A and B are shown apart, each in its own frame.
Chain A
């Protein structure tokens, strides 16, 4: 099955700095790559996603890049703010028996210091 590796597990930055989280996946059939943000005590929520036919996507301070050849994708957050502090998960969606199953990385705890 699909295997998603995510790094780093913890990332500490100063407010205003940029943060980058990287993920790799193993199954070349994966074609949908969402990123989720999980705040304390809540379920993960989608913040941005990218499909395999696109190399980059941006939404205000958040951007995601995808390199299909190398099987890796990254989340970039610019001008970080304290409210960006949360756990971030990457995922790869892979076809399996007629369905597409999201497989998640282990998460990155982002801490933004004021």
Chain B
């Protein structure tokens, strides 16, 4: 049982490049989330998907897009990377409202 798997673990992009962060969970969870973690700022919600086929903006959605490809997979896309998007990105999932969220190991992204 792998839990939540994120790829890649590390990435360096040049300003203006695009990339997609992948996330997959094997726990049959309904809800999935993308957070970014910056020093002193905690975990801030970028986008979430309450169930397959739905996505909604979180606190800091600008510059990002998401796709809930199926129940297992939830990807985060940066269309034109900016240095302000340098961060550690975490994907998480939970089975239903008001329950424990399970996190992936994170993707450390640097935009130069």
Which residues on A are within 8 Å of B, measured CB to CB? 1, 6, 9, 31-32, 34, 36, 41-46, 49, 51, 89, 91, 93, 95-107
Contact = CB atoms under 8 A, between A and B. Distances in A.
Nearest to B9: A41
Contacts, number: 67
12 contacts: A31-B98, A32-B98, A41-B105, A42-B105, A43-B92, A43-B103, A44-B43, A98-B50, A99-B31, A102-B33, A102-B45, A102-B101
8 tightest Cβ-Cβ pairs between the two chains A and B: A43-B103, A100-B97, A99-B50, A106-B42, A32-B98, A104-B43, A46-B100, A104-B42
Given A43-B104, A43-B106, A106 B56 contact: no
B50 A9 contact: no
